[in-house]
Structure 1
Amino acid sequence: MSAEGEQPDAAGYDAKCVFCRICNSQEGGAELLHSDEELACFRDIRPGAPHHYLVVPKAHVGNCKTLTNEHVQLVQNMVEIGKCVLQKNNVTDMEDIRLGFHWPPFCSISHLHLHVLAPASQLGFLSRMIYRLNSYWFITADQLIERLQSNGPAS
């Protein structure tokens, strides 16, 4: 369900969701850096690092709290696409990256999106807070996958 209260259509598209519109090339100004049947990747409009991308499912999926263990492969695929886009953009130090999700209610858009940031060592003060490890508002992709594998639902 979108933040506006409307249900996505049968194909998983929510016309009121900006990420659904970007994935379907209906939102001007957003260049898709990656697009396949399942996922899309584009630059964050408020970058927190020199490389800041968002990887999103093309079908409207709620936030990370709505996921179950059935979504582990989706999250893993999102991580792989994020790393691939970083490498295509000449990021070579894959140890100096941050991959994660904002934890509800700290999500600005209620469509699942993986933040891909690099180099993590160059995050500014505010970005270090917004994308802070082990905080109440941000969870790494690895932590989310671990929760999904061990508990079922992420919440």
Structure 2
Amino acid sequence: MASDSCVFCGVLSENKEDKILWQNETLAIIADHKPAAKHHFLVITKRHITDVRSLNYKEKEEDRILIEEMLTHAKTFLSSQDPATQDNNFGDVLFGFHYPPFILVKHLHMHVIYPASQMGFIQRNLFRQNSYWFKHPEYILGLQ
């Protein structure tokens, strides 16, 4: 169910092809409006989900699969944009979800940032891996 006040739902409902870089039935990838590095994308769900804590990925297989698909499609898309990411086994790529209350848009989205090593001081702190406010998808799924 789309939210009338949600920026991401607006982009999806208007099918703004100039903003949607890739999409399938459940996900879309858009560019971040304030990029932290050369490549900074957001993988967003087409269904309005408030945030990662709204999911029950420990008990619901479909929620777990959704997070796994977000990561898989993020890697595939980023590799198509810059093959060097795959060559270094995504070592300088940052994937993650912000945790409430550190979310500006309350619509589930995963950040994809490359090269993470070129982020500035503020961005490195804003997107600090597995901090209280920013978690890697594998950490969320209990794989890290």
User: Shorter-chain TM-score: what band?
Assistant: 0.7 to 0.9
Unaligned runs of 5+ in 2: none
1:40 pairs, out of 28, 39, 46, with: 28
Q: Which runs of 4+ in 1 moved over 2 A?
A: 24-27
TM-score (norm 1): 0.81
Structure 1: how far apart are the matches of 2:112 and 2:14? 21
Instruction: Tell me whether 18-27 or 59-68 shows the greater mean CA deviation.
Output: 18-27
Structure 2: how far apart are the matches of 1:146 and 1:103? 16
TM-score (norm 2): 0.87
1:143 pairs, out of 112, 134, 139, with: 139
Q: Residues 83-98 of structure 1: matches in 2 within 5 Å?
A: 83-93=75-85, 94-98=90-94
| Deviation of the 1:64 alpha carbon | 1.0
CA deviations 1:9-33 (Å, max 9, x no partner) are: xxx1112111111122366x95211
CA deviations 1:26-67 (Å, max 9, x no partner) are: 66x952111111000000000011100000000101111111
Partner of 2:39: 51
Structure 1: how far apart are the matches of 2:83 and 2:97? 20
Structure 1: how far apart are the matches of 2:46 and 2:10? 9
Over aligned residues, Cα RMSD in angstroms?
A: 1.7
| Deviation of the 1:111 alpha carbon | 0.5
Instruction: Tell me whether 52-61 or 120-129 shows the greater mean CA deviation.
Output: 120-129
Structure 2: how far apart are the matches of 1:91 and 1:122? 17
| Deviation of the 1:91 alpha carbon | 4.1
Aligned residues: 135
